[in-house]
Amino acid sequence: MSTDQCIGSTCNRPAGRAGQRSSSVPHGLRRALALMLATSLAACGGSSDDEAARIEQGREIFRHDTFGDETFWSDTLRLHEVIETSVDPQTALAVGLKVDVDALPDDLREAIASGAVDLASPATTLALIGLDAVVGIRGSVEQVSGVTRLTRIGITCALCHSTVDDSFAPGIGHRLDGWPNRDLDPGAIVALSPELDPASRAVYGGWGKGRFDPRFNVDGLDGPVLIPPAYGLAGVRSITYTGDGDEIRYWNHYVAVVEMGGHGRFVEPRLNLEVQNGSDDRVSDKLAALQAYQLSLAAPAPPPGSFDAAAAARGAQLFGGKAGCAGCHAGPLLTDANQRLHPAADSMAEPEMPSYASRSATGRYRSTPLRALWQHPPYFHDGSAASLDAVVRRYDARLGLQLTDDEAGDLVAYLNSL
């Protein structure tokens, strides 16, 4: 497969086309307002029972629905063949795959804990897939002529947008839906395919953990971005880095068809993009429930004792004052994304080559809602700031804020409190 082919699809590719303040509203009040927004959204959809059922349906879709993308991952990439012969649990955990401990029978948990399970055997991986225990992976494990075989493989939304709490062991625990899996190396997984040419394999293999390029198979350019959180989005309309769509369902539709290879059709005139996979549509009628579930996912609160409360209080004053953050990271949602998008030059990650904004449908960036920043380093869409201190220092240098070291530390404490 050449580097400019659409993954699992046919498409028309265009030529590549080519900041930040928030209010000092107390953290508890922001969470209360966000909850009110989520509640009002639920009320608009009908009774609370109806909404609860829709959310539950959305969770099932988020965790387990492949939208028929086995056609791509198995028939095109033949990854099931690689997994059944070469991917043992140790390798799977090394590339960031996670195991749902709640899907494991008690006897298997005990065997893993006692060391009785061979974690260096691909057969163990097949057993875990057969139990639907590998987060974001759906496979068909069958007996073929007396041999256990992995005959089909597909992926779900949870592959990139869920992790686990490591409560059982590193990489094994209870699901944390909406948390970006920054341990996951999607490119390394795709690069296992025997169908890729060396140039494509080199690109995928170079992305690194927690990064994915959702435009590479559309425009042929290579510029991966961080896997973003899928929590804390209630009330936010421009939900992607570049604000391409006004609802989560827009991006879900794009990813399900264009990136995952799900069966359906996606059209984006702004990118001269039309993708059709298969002759059926296994995506469109699931988007409403999937969105409802994602909107129900609250941003996780910072762990108790993880920041200095007094420093954070001082930092909140800086955030809305001297540092000037509140001009863009405004209101209870800590973003002005519902009002405007920003030119690429406003991004602290620019200039970059290729410019991610220039490859999008808007050509611009939205101000990121500052939700649970403590949970998902690194920062900026390209991951170029390893820590919140690095973020503050970059703003200070670029904008001439003249923050003292103590002020920078206080601002970091406030960001860690969000």
CATH code assigned at 323: 1.10.760.10
Q: Answer whether residue 9 is part of any domain.
A: no
* Domain co-membership, 290 together with 348: no
Other CB atoms within a 10 A radius of the CB of residue 298 amount to 17
- Tell me the C-alpha to C-alpha distance, in Å, between residue 112 and each of 105, 107, 115, 128, 134: 11, 9, 5, 12, 15
- For 400, counting Cβ atoms within 10 Å of its Cβ (0-12 exposed, 13-18 middle, 19+ buried), the class is exposed
* Domain co-membership, 169 together with 238: yes
Q: Answer whether residue 52 is part of any domain.
A: yes
Q: Answer whether residue 6 is part of any domain.
A: no
* 3-state class (DSSP) for residue 79: helix
Q: Say what the pTM is.
A: 0.86
Contacts of 278 (CB under 8 A, 6+ apart): 68, 71, 263, 264
* Domain co-membership, 82 together with 154: yes
Last residue of a domain, one of 263, 295, 327: 295
Contacts of 180 (CB under 8 A, 6+ apart): 160, 161, 163, 210, 226, 227, 228, 229, 230, 376
**Residue type for 252, please?**
N
Last residue of a domain, one of 295, 319, 337: 295
- For 97, counting Cβ atoms within 10 Å of its Cβ (0-12 exposed, 13-18 middle, 19+ buried), the class is buried
72 vs 57: CA distance, rounded Å? 25
Give me the pLDDT at residue 11, please. Answer: 43
* 3-state class (DSSP) for residue 314: helix
* Domain co-membership, 242 together with 273: yes
Model confidence pLDDT, tens digit, residues 364-408: 999 999 999 999 999 999 999 999 999 999 999 999 999 999 999
119 vs 104: CA distance, rounded Å? 15
* 3-state class (DSSP) for residue 318: helix
- Three-point CA angle 46, 50, 53, nearest 5°: 150
* Domain co-membership, 37 together with 113: no
Give me the pLDDT at residue 47, please. Answer: 74
* Domain co-membership, 222 together with 305: no
331 vs 237: CA distance, rounded Å? 14
* Domain co-membership, 86 together with 234: yes
* Domain co-membership, 322 together with 288: no
Closest CA to 295 of 247, 263, 260, 339: 247
277 vs 69: CA distance, rounded Å? 9
Query: Which residues sit opposite 376 in a β-bridge?
Result: none
Helix axes 405-417, 388-399, angle to 10 degrees: 130
Helix (H) or strand (E) holding 416: helix 405-417
317 vs 297: CA distance, rounded Å? 29
Last residue of a domain, one of 244, 272, 295: 295
For residues 66 and 74, is the Cβ–Cβ distance under 8 A? no
Give me the pLDDT at residue 239, please. Answer: 86
DSSP for 151-220 reads: EEEEE-THHHHEEE--SSBTTEESEEETS--TT--HHHHHTT-TTS-HHHHHHHHTS-TTEE-TTHHHH-
Q: Which residues of the chain have pLDDT under 70?
A: 1-46
Task: Report the domain count for the chain.
Answer: 2
Q: Answer whether residue 5 is part of any domain.
A: no
289 vs 62: CA distance, rounded Å? 9
* Domain co-membership, 155 together with 261: yes
Give me the pLDDT at residue 12, please. Answer: 38
For residues 328 and 23, is the Cβ–Cβ distance under 8 A? no
Q: Answer whether residue 11 is part of any domain.
A: no
Q: Structure tokens of 130? A: 């057969």
Peptide bond into 378 cis (omega under 30): yes
Q: Answer whether residue 14 is part of any domain.
A: no
Other CB atoms within a 10 A radius of the CB of residue 103 amount to 14
* 3-state class (DSSP) for residue 262: coil
Residue range(s) defining the domain that contains residue 320: 27-45+300-417
* Domain co-membership, 149 together with 233: yes
* Domain co-membership, 143 together with 217: yes
